[in-house]
């Protein structure tokens, strides 16, 4: 036996020489330079554009952009599809952008994603969803890089690495995966009250969508449209899904993750494959430059939205996704999005988060895909590129000639400036700036709770209950009681009822005032914090609730599970199946085993889905047809498990006449969400109307009482 030389101990000691921590140390750059302000990027005035000379921001962001190989640092898990956007309105008075002119059709590639999880994480995490659209316009590529939530956690890009570090798995143990319910996230959030509005959204059902096809998209920031006279107009971009906006219950999301962690990805792919092409309307909120300071909030603040009651959304056109990728890696994984990919007629605003993203995304793509990532087919512009950049990593194009510089005469001065031939090209919107060079934040960004309160007040009773439950769940996972107390104090600034209910679940009496540590950090950005803000223009906004209005909604592409066994009546199946399919929904037979199923009438069909391989959480509603199969189902515990879960998740459950004994044996309580054929002549209409509302949420409210 070989003698132990102690080499393992030597290696351990060498490792320990590099162990360090930050306790009691001043914050520095990677070169050890003490940092005076780590919350604000260097700007021209506290509402002006960020400066390229901000070496501290670049030092921090470049390190952050290179932290992981080969995944995206954020938005690693994605799903995507090709499609087309058709412009149907005339806004030529606001912009020269070619793809925003009446009647123009533009190819698009859309990538949906979760933010926090790694590439292999579940689709159903409670998380922000990325909603990024690449327009292949005739003037070059334009990327609208947004989310399914219209606001964000932070106001300045300087804090972005810190936010992501806080929500990612804790670095000492790399857990939890794709989850915000842990100490480091809520430690960070409880110290920056600017996150209060975003927390309301992320704790709502918006953060666990039923489908990628059933969520809104937002540009988040204020951008600018620029017309041919050079006049700018602030713009907020909205994507509104034709199928409505729907979420799932939190317990249901956890179960879906267990049965099918690819639920959203698979569902998008299958619907496009079936020609159930998802559609969104593109809408805009237009704000004249002279109204920039008109409102109680600052339109440059990315933690604020513009209520639709103040500035209605004007619908411009429709996007249709009609083709799945041929190769996931070549397209979905290599797609490179960048908010700095602009075309003439669209420009950025001085939003300090957006200003930082313009550098970060470009830097990330260069690092992740190489210096010529724009030559990868999925990223290529339809009108191709013409410049003198011939070298660099992963070069695909082969450019002829001896010229790689500008200006030149060797290549007849080509490629030439657009201005030399009287052609249009990209020009930044001209605005006059006269300000000091500072690291500061405008006091117009200092109201952190009014819009958080607006969002909570705008929710229906069940949506408010879900926010309370989500906050209670998340904060119950936090081990440090001081962090919990700090966050409950923030909730108390939003709404006392909200804080009281969450506090009750955590055994915390909501503190009246913000924690001193929270105030200390807030005052680093606003020395006189708290600053009394203007009164909010609206107290409730209908657009912020996901509740379906009476008489509206659709069941198109919804899946209804037909719970069957041998001997089921084909007539009973067809009676509802035909009606559902006429409404665009899909009926899926769930049997006891795969293979042949024999109908009462003697015919057979093939079963592909079973009680053990599927679960009610993967479907929108349940239906039990009649026939001798009822006796078989009466002795099948898996059948009753399906009923129990669907009932708990407030789904519509329908029963044909002759199935009453199944209801009696089950644990479900008959309510308005239980539809029985024997009770109503128009029972199928009742079922469809209920499904249009997505769920019978009153059931959960009744169970809470």
Give the pLDDT confidence of 579-595 residue by residue, as tens digits.
Answer: 999 999 999 999 999 99
Q: How confident is the model at residue 426 (pLDDT cuts 50, 70, 90)?
A: confident
Out of 379, 412, 438, pick the residue that ends a domain.
Answer: 379
Among 41-45, 380-384, 513-517, 655-659, the least confident range: 380-384
φ, ψ of residue 348 in degrees (nearest 5): -85, 160
Picking from 311, 342, 531, the residue whose alpha carbon sits closest to that of residue 425 is 342
Catalytic residue among 147, 148, 260, 350: 147
Q: Are residue 474 and residue 580 in the same domain, yes or no?
A: no
Q: Which residues pair with 315 in a beta bridge?
A: 283
- Strand 586-591 to 559-563 pairing: parallel
Out of 345, 379, 413, pick the residue that ends a domain.
Answer: 379
Please list the helix, strand and coil fractions of the chain in percent, rounded to the nearest 5, in that order: 35, 15, 50
Copy the structure tokens of residue 118: 């790694």
Residue 34, Cβ neighbours under 10 Å: how many? Answer: 8
Q: Are residue 318 and residue 374 in the same domain, yes or no?
A: yes
Among 33-37, 198-202, 487-491, the least confident range: 33-37
φ, ψ of residue 60 in degrees (nearest 5): -70, -45
- Residue 339 scores a pLDDT above 90: yes
Q: Are residue 679 and residue 585 in the same domain, yes or no?
A: yes
Burial of 211-233, coded b for 16+ CB within 10 Å and e otherwise, reads bbbbbbbbbbbbbbbbbeeeebb
CB 570 within 8 A of CB 599: yes
Q: Are residue 337 and residue 404 in the same domain, yes or no?
A: no
Q: Give mean pLDDT, residues 625-631.
A: 97
Q: Does residue 8 form part of some domain?
A: no
Q: Residues 166, 168, 174, CA angle at the centre, nearest 5°? A: 115
Model confidence pLDDT, tens digit, residues 281-333? 999 999 999 999 999 999 999 999 999 999 999 999 999 999 999 999 889 99
Residue 102, Cβ neighbours under 10 Å: how many? Answer: 12
Q: How many whole angstroms separate alpha carbon 361 and alpha carbon 284?
A: 24
Q: How confident is the model at residue 421 (pLDDT cuts 50, 70, 90)?
A: low
Rg, the chain, Cα only: 28
Task: Residue 615: give its domain's CATH number.
Answer: 3.40.50.880
Q: Are residue 146 and residue 206 in the same domain, yes or no?
A: yes
- Residue 557 scores a pLDDT above 70: yes
H or E segment and range at residue 563: strand 559-563
387 is catalytic: no
- Residue 19 scores a pLDDT above 60: no
Catalytic residue among 39, 46, 75, 238: 75
Q: Are residue 135 and residue 74 in the same domain, yes or no?
A: yes
SS3 62: helix
CB 135 within 8 A of CB 144: yes
Looking at per-residue confidence, does 33 or 166 come out higher?
A: 166
Q: Are residue 687 and residue 579 in the same domain, yes or no?
A: yes
Copy the structure tokens of residue 165: 């570090």
Among 60-69, 258-267, 596-605, the least confident range: 60-69
Q: Write down the residue that tokens 């090709």 correspond to.
A: 82
Q: Does residue 21 form part of some domain?
A: no
Q: How many whole angstroms separate alpha carbon 99 and alpha carbon 86?
A: 8
Model confidence pLDDT, tens digit, residues 525-537? 999 999 988 899 9
Q: Does residue 221 form part of some domain?
A: yes
Looking at per-residue confidence, does 157 or 5 come out higher?
A: 157
Q: Are residue 581 and residue 539 in the same domain, yes or no?
A: no
Model confidence pLDDT, tens digit, residues 257-272? 999 999 999 999 999 9
Q: How many whole angstroms separate alpha carbon 419 and alpha carbon 9?
A: 68
Q: How many whole angstroms separate alpha carbon 654 and alpha carbon 159?
A: 51
User: What's the sign of the alpha-carbon dihedral 421, 422, 424, 425?
Assistant: positive
Out of 368, 397, 421, pick the residue that ends a domain.
Answer: 421
Q: How many whole angstroms separate alpha carbon 515 and alpha carbon 486?
A: 6
Looking at per-residue confidence, does 43 or 680 come out higher?
A: 43
Q: Are residue 111 and residue 205 in the same domain, yes or no?
A: yes
Note the pTM of the prediction, 2 decimals: 0.91
Burial of 365-394, coded b for 16+ CB within 10 Å and e otherwise, reads bbbbbeebbbbbebbebeeeeeeeeeeeee
SS3 112: strand
Entry field: residues in the chain: 705
> What's the pLDDT at 66?
75
Q: Does residue 188 form part of some domain?
A: yes
Share of the chain above pLDDT 90, in %: 80
165 is catalytic: no
Q: Does residue 552 form part of some domain?
A: no
Q: How confident is the model at residue 406 (pLDDT cuts 50, 70, 90)?
A: confident
> What's the pLDDT at 65?
85
Model confidence pLDDT, tens digit, residues 490-525? 999 999 999 999 999 999 999 999 999 999 999 999
Task: Residue 536: give its domain's CATH number.
Answer: 1.20.1370.20
Q: Write down the residue that tokens 């969002």 correspond to.
A: 455
CB 109 within 8 A of CB 131: no
Which residue range forms the structural domain that includes residue 410? 388-421
Q: Give the total number of structural domains in the chain.
A: 4
- Mean of all residue pLDDT scores within the chain: 93
Maximum average pLDDT range among 5-9, 71-75, 154-158, 528-532: 154-158
- Residue 415 scores a pLDDT above 90: no
Q: How confident is the model at residue 12 (pLDDT cuts 50, 70, 90)?
A: very low
φ, ψ of residue 625 in degrees (nearest 5): -75, 170
Q: Are residue 636 and residue 488 in the same domain, yes or no?
A: no
Q: Does residue 36 form part of some domain?
A: no
Picking from 627, 637, 689, 700, the residue whose alpha carbon sits closest to that of residue 666 is 637
CB 243 within 8 A of CB 318: no
Q: Are residue 270 and residue 322 in the same domain, yes or no?
A: yes
Q: Does residue 32 form part of some domain?
A: no
Q: How many whole angstroms separate alpha carbon 509 and alpha carbon 648?
A: 30
Q: Are residue 486 and residue 363 in the same domain, yes or no?
A: no
Q: What is the DSSP string of 654-703?
A: EE-TT-HHHHHHSSPPP-TTEEEGGG-TTHHHHHHHHHHTS--THHHHHH
> What's the pLDDT at 408?
83
Q: How many whole angstroms separate alpha carbon 507 and alpha carbon 662?
A: 41
- Residue 387 scores a pLDDT above 50: yes
Q: How many whole angstroms separate alpha carbon 669 and alpha carbon 651?
A: 13
Mark out the alpha helices in 554-601 (DSSP H runs). 570-582
Q: Residues 327, 333, 335, CA angle at the centre, nearest 5°? A: 100
Q: Does residue 145 form part of some domain?
A: yes
Task: Residue 288: give its domain's CATH number.
Answer: 2.40.180.10
- Residue 479 scores a pLDDT above 60: yes
> What's the pLDDT at 17?
58
């Amino acid at each position: 036996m070989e003698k132990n030389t102690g080499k393992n101990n030597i290696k351990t000691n060498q490792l320990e020489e590099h162990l360090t921590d930050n306790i009691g140390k001043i914050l520095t750059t990677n070169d050890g330079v003490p940092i005076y302000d780590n919350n604000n990027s260097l700007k021209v005035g506290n509402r002006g554009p960020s400066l390229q000379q901000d070496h501290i921001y670049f030092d921090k962001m470049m390190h952050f952009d290179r932290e992981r190989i080969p995944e995206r640092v954020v938005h690693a898990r994605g799903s995507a599809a090709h499609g087309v956007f058709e412009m149907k309105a005339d806004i030529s008075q606001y912009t020269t952008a070619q793809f925003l002119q009446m009647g123009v059709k533009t190819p698009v590639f859309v990538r949906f994603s979760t933010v926090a999880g790694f590439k292999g994480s579940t689709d159903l995490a409670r998380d922000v969803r990325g909603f990024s659209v690449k327009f292949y316009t005739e003037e070059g590529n334009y990327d609208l890089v947004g989310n399914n939530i219209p606001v964000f956690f932070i106001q300045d890009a300087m804090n972005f690495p810190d936010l992501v570090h806080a929500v990612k798995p804790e670095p000492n143990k790399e857990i939890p995966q794709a989850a915000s319910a842990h100490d480091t996230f809520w430690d960070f959030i409880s110290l920056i009250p600017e996150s209060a509005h975003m927390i309301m959204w992320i704790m709502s059902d918006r953060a666990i969508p039923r489908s990628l096809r059933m969520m809104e998209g937002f540009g988040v920031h204020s951008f600018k449209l620029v017309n041919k006279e050079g006049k700018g107009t602030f713009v907020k971009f909205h994507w509104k899904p034709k199928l409505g906006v729907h979420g799932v219950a939190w317990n249901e999301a956890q179960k879906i993750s267990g049965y099918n962690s690819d639920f959203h990805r698979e569902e998008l792919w299958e619907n496009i494959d079936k020609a159930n092409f998802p559609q969104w309307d593109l809408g805009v909120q237009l704000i004249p430059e002279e109204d920039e300071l008109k409102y109680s909030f600052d339109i440059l603040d990315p933690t604020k939205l513009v209520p639709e009651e103040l500035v209605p959304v004007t619908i411009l056109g429709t996007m249709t996704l009609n083709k799945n990728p041929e190769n996931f890696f070549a397209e979905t994984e290599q797609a490179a999005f960048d908010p700095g990919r602009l075309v003439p007629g669209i420009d950025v605003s001085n939003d300090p988060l957006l200003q930082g993203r313009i550098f970060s995304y470009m830097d990330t793509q260069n690092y992740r895909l190489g210096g010529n990532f724009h030559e990868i087919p999925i990223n290529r512009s339809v009108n191709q590129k013409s410049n003198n950049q011939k070298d660099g990593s992963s070069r695909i194009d082969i450019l002829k000639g001896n010229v790689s510089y500008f200006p030149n005469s060797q290549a007849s001065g080509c490629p030439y400036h657009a201005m030399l031939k009287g052609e249009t090209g990209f020009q930044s919107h001209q605005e006059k700036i006269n300000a000091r060079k500072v690291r500061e934040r405008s006091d117009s960004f200092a109201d952190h709770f009014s819009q958080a309160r607006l969002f909570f007040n705008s929710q229906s009773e069940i949506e408010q209950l879900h926010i309370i439950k989500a906050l209670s769940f998340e904060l119950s996972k936090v081990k440090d009681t001081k962090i919990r107390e700090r966050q409950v104090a923030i909730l108390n600034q939003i709404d006392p009822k909200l804080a009281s209910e969450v506090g009750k679940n955590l055994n915390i009496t909501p503190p009246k005032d913000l924690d001193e540590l929270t105030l200390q950090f807030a005052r680093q950005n606003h020395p006189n914090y708290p600053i009394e803000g203007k009164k909010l223009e609206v107290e409730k906004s209908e657009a912020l609730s996901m509740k379906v209005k009476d008489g509206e909604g659709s069941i198109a592409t919804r899946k209804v599970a037909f719970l069957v066994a041998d001997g089921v009546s084909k007539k009973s199946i067809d009676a509802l199946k035909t009606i559902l399919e006429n409404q665009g929904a899909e009926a899926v037979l769930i049997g006891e085993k795969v293979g042949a199923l024999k109908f009462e009438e003697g015919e057979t069909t093939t079963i592909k889905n079973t009680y053990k391989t599927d679960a009610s959480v993967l479907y929108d509603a349940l239906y039990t047809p009649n026939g001798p199969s009822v006796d078989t189902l009466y002795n099948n515990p898996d059948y009753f498990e399906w009923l129990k879960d669907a009932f708990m998740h407030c789904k519509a459950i329908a029963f044909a006449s002759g199935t009453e004994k199944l209801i009696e044996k089950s644990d479900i309580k008959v309510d308005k969400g239980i539809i029985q054929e024997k009770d109503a002549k128009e029972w199928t209409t009742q079922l469809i109307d209920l499904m249009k509302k997505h769920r019978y949420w009153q059931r959960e409210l009744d169970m809470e009482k």
